[in-house]
Structures are given as structure tokens and as C-alpha cells.
Amino acid sequence: MKHTLIRTLPVIDRRATLRWLAGALAVGQLAACGETFGESAWLAPTPITGNGTGRDPNLLEPAAPWPLTLTQAELLATKALVDLILPAEGDAPAASEVGVPAFIDEWVSAPYPTQQEHRALIVPGLAWLDAEAIARGGKRFALLDAAAMKAIANDIAFGGRLKAGLEKPAEFFSRMRALTMGAYYTTPAGWNDIGYPGAKPGTGPYAGPTREAIAHMRALVEGMGLDFVEA
């Protein structure tokens, strides 16, 4: 591979941070004035107009030609959320350390029907996340402490105990979780975490199951009252 496309979160300079804080303050003031995140806020965002890959792209030098569209505020909420979904643990890095926010941006910015459908859920969902954080804790989602973030997530992340009225945010969370996992487990860190040992060209015949894998399968199958035949 001559290059990879993993994009990292843009470096945020001091001026940008100040602008963002000013925006956060404005949102806080809106919330304080009694604005709520109603049904209308889930309306679809502006559609994408960029070019797709075309039907004959260079497969050896892959590139996504469409411009990225998430705002800095949306990217910060994304980063906080994907790291809540897959935080660092042991040797495994957090989602944002392996480019997941940039992937989400690439995904929702892509000019294809599936991605546009997801965009119509994710862009308002990120706004909901900030509005909910401000309503509950007076700060945007990314500025909440871990416990406050989890308090919001706990209302929308578990299929068996969703908080009534939060069906749409729950749908948003499920989509973000699926995309975060898809992005994460395709990285080297994800392969390592899951144990995928493949994509390794070898010579000679295919090695087949290890002795340990065969012994395990034999015990498993015989434990089910079945005959094990190796071959």
C-alpha cells in the first residue's frame, strides 16, 4: 500500500476552540431560554452533492473523492461518543485513536442512499446529544464527565431498557455503535482485539485447524452426542 486513508481528527487551534466555546455558550443560553429538542429537530439535514467513486476507480490507490461535511462541534460530539462506545481497555486503544471519528465523517458525507439515510439520523442525533447534555449538565456532550455521559447513554444504549420517548435517540445510538464497531474492527487494533489472524499469504497447503482447535471441536461435538469425523 502506498498510502492509507485513515484521517485523524483535525488539530484544533486555540482560536477554533474559542469559537467553539462561544457556540457552546450560545447553545447553553438557548437551552436556558426553554428551547427543547423537539420532533422537528430530527428533520433531515442538507443532502450531500459530492461525487462518488464511479464504477471504475483505481482499486490499488483507493480514495474517497467526496468532501467531508461534519462541523467541528459535530466531530467533537462524535469523538466523545465513539470513545464511550469503545474506550481504551488494556492494550486496545479507544475508537478515536484509530480514526473512527474521521470514518464517521466520511460515511455521513458519502453521496449514496444508505449513507444519506444514516446522515439524516446521525447529524440530528449529534445535535440531540449536545442539547441533552446541556439540558442535563449545562455543557455540551464532549465536556461532560464520564458519569454524566454514561447517564445519557444508559437511557438509549440498551435494547431492553430504553427510556420512553427516547426511541429516536436510541436509534441514533444503535447506528453510531454499529458504525463505530465496523470502523474499529477493521483496523489493526480491532483485528488484534478480536484475534483475527488472517490476511497472511502463505505457501504450501492450507494449514487447517490447529491441534488445539481440533481437540476442542472433538470435545464439543461429542459433548452434543454427535460423532466427530476429522476430514
Least distance in angstroms from the C-beta of 79 to other proteins: 15
Which of 75, 152 has the CB closer to other proteins?
152
Q: Per rule CB under 8 A, is residue 172 in the interface with other proteins? A: no
User: Could you give phi then psi for residue 3, rounded to 5 degrees?
Assistant: -160, 165
Q: Per rule CB under 8 A, is residue 9 in the interface with other proteins? A: no
Least distance in angstroms from the C-beta of 10 to other proteins: 19
Least distance in angstroms from the C-beta of 21 to other proteins: 27
Q: Per rule CB under 8 A, is residue 171 in the interface with other proteins? A: no
Q: Per rule CB under 8 A, is residue 191 in the interface with other proteins? A: yes
Please identify, among the stretches 72-80, 119-127, 133-141, 170-178, the one whose residues bind other proteins according to the rule CB under 8 A. 170-178
Least distance in angstroms from the C-beta of 147 to other proteins: 13
Least distance in angstroms from the C-beta of 57 to other proteins: 7
Footprint on residues 30-69 left by other proteins (CB under 8 A): 52-57, 59-60, 62-64
With helix as H, strand as E and coil as C, how does the chain read?
CCCCCCCCCCCCCHHHHHHHHHHHHHHHHHHHCCCCCCHHHHCCCCCCCCCCCCCCCCCCCCCCCCCCCCCHHHHHHHHHHHHHHCCCECCECCHHHHCHHHHHHHHHCCCCHHHHHHHHHHHHHHHHHHHHHHHHHCCCHHHCCHHHHHHHHHHHCCHHHCCCCCHHHHHHHHHHHHHHHHHHCCCHHHHHHHCCCCCCCCCCCCCCCCHHHHHHHHHHHHHCCCCCCCC
Please identify, among the stretches 23-31, 35-43, 71-79, 86-94, the one whose residues bind other proteins according to the rule CB under 8 A. 86-94
Least distance in angstroms from the C-beta of 183 to other proteins: 7
Q: Per rule CB under 8 A, is residue 23 in the interface with other proteins? A: no
Q: Per rule CB under 8 A, is residue 195 in the interface with other proteins? A: yes
Which of 13, 39, 89, 91 is close enough to bind other proteins by CB under 8 A? Answer: 89
Interhelix angle 72-85/146-156, rounded to 10 degrees, is: 80
